[in-house]
Structure 1
Amino acid sequence: MAFEKLRTNRFNQWVIIHLRYLVGFAFFPSGLVKLMGNRFTGISTDNPIGYFFEALYQSGFYWNFLGLAQITAGILLMTQRFAALGAMMFLAILTNIWIITISLSFKGTWVITSLMMIAVFVLLIWDKHKLLPLFNYKTDLKEYPEPKTAWGIAGAIYAVSCIALYILDPVKGNSYEKWLIGIFVIVIVLTFIFTNYKAYKNQN
């Protein structure tokens, strides 16, 4: 079957793993802003977009909950093991964001959210064998190779590093914080190099 060939191809597996990282990371900036209780935009409330985000911000805990949901979905995707659950959660959240960007006529943003929607559907199709039993209990589960533990560990390192980089302020921070930022950046780069070198070595 064509899907089985695509699913078992090592290069395709590598692409999906990093697509999960990329899509998961996409929720971190906006999610952390909400989770920390900060405003998402400085647009005036005279603008419908600014008015909308200010209303969400004034909702209190709901604003923080939105951020927590986004971060949770991103982390689940980056763990690889729970990526299917993360993709489903991501789809639920992103669908709302996508409709908002279209209905409020965000300039250019709707293009980005549309591309993100396509990426999420690709991830869901990739794990369709895990989702089909939800709609048909008689479906025979097909086993496919899953990402090795190293990819999950790498995802955890990426997630922790991204959160740390957001909390640390490279502009207002002191020299100690700037050193920490440098360390986290190095950790991300080294993790990327190590995991991909290991994957390349195992393939050859």
Structure 2
Amino acid sequence: MKKHHHTVIVLIRIFLGLIFFGAGMSKLYFEHNFPGVIGPVWLEERLAEHGLGFYARFIAGSQVVAGLMLLTQRFATLGAILTFPILLNIFMVTVSLQWQGTPYINAFLLMLNTWLLVYDYHKLKFILTDKPAELKSISLKRISLSADFIWLVAVTGILGSIPLSFVNLNMAWGLCVLMVLLIVWNQLRRKEENYRGERNIH
């Protein structure tokens, strides 16, 4: 049962990750030439009328980074933390504007995001402690700094494909796909290393 629950959590992370990644990239790419499920892609144009164009790009960029964090699984908890306020704000905007149907969709996504946070409560519970002194002895250790570096390179490449899309759209798509494949390969490589390590222990 626990294994099936973990599988469901991974699928939710991938689902929300793809939604946020596509939503952000479709807002930022040249003439919005990037597949995205949720919008609106014209957010920057509308907010720019009120001098908030840069703010709109910040929102889109945050969606991209948060989505990638969910997709990688390595930083999924941080991704779930980042997506929660974004989704909550989107939900409140759609409710305030009295959009038909959209608030229900956002409420569903918000529920999935909450599920992820509840699942990772064992990681987040330390934020709520009344005795922070007890945590000073806990040191931050990353299992593989090389995997973190590869992820950072891939994210940088994906973000770099955005300005490239205004120069050459096909090259931008190619770079983005290549970097996404790099993230997938990095994740599979780490999974295989962990599996071999567990076999050696047994």
TM-score for the superposition, normalised by structure 2 = 0.60
- Work out the CA distance in 1 between the residues paired with 2:7 and 2:58: 32
Q: What does 1:145-156 align with in structure 2 at a 5 Å threshold?
A: none
Calculate percent identity across the aligned residue pairs. 32
Aligned to 1:76: 69
Give 2:28's match in structure 1, choosing from 23, 35, 42: 35
- Work out the CA distance in 1 between the residues paired with 2:90 and 2:67: 15
Alignment deviations for residues 130-169 of structure 1 (CA, whole Å, 9 cap, x no partner): 111101155999xxxxxxx9xx99xx7xx98xx69x98x9
Q: Are 2:53 and 1:60 equivalent residues in the alignment?
A: yes
CA pair 18-56 structure 1, distance change in 2 beyond 3 A: farther
- Work out the CA distance in 2 between the residues paired with 1:62 and 1:37: 18
How far 1:29 moved relative to its partner?
2.5
- Work out the CA distance in 1 between the residues paired with 2:4 and 2:108: 21
Cα contact 1:87–1:124 (8 A) shared by 2: yes
CA pair 41-129 structure 1, distance change in 2 beyond 3 A: closer
Aligned to 1:3: none
How far 1:108 moved relative to its partner?
1.6
Q: What does 1:86-101 align with in structure 2 at a 5 Å threshold?
A: 86-101=79-94
- Work out the CA distance in 2 between the residues paired with 1:25 and 1:124: 18
Alignment deviations for residues 22-78 of structure 1 (CA, whole Å, 9 cap, x no partner): 1111112221133337576588xxxxxx9x971257522211111111111111111
Alignment deviations for residues 86-127 of structure 1 (CA, whole Å, 9 cap, x no partner): 111100111100111111122221111111000000000000
Give the AA of the match of 1:76: M
TM-score for the superposition, normalised by structure 1 = 0.59
Indicate the structure whose relative CO is greater, using CA pairs within 8 Å and at least 6 residues apart. 1
Cα contact 1:35–1:65 (8 A) shared by 2: no
Cα contact 1:98–1:113 (8 A) shared by 2: yes
Give 1:129's match in structure 2, choosing from 122, 131, 134: 122
Cα contact 2:70–2:79 (8 A) shared by 1: yes
- Work out the CA distance in 2 between the residues paired with 1:102 and 1:56: 22
Give the AA of the match of 2:107: S
- Work out the CA distance in 2 between the residues paired with 1:41 and 1:131: 32
Cα contact 2:28–2:57 (8 A) shared by 1: yes
Structure 2, unpaired ranges of 5+: 33-38, 136-143, 193-202
CA pair 20-126 structure 1, distance change in 2 beyond 3 A: same
CA pair 34-132 structure 1, distance change in 2 beyond 3 A: same
Aligned to 1:47: none
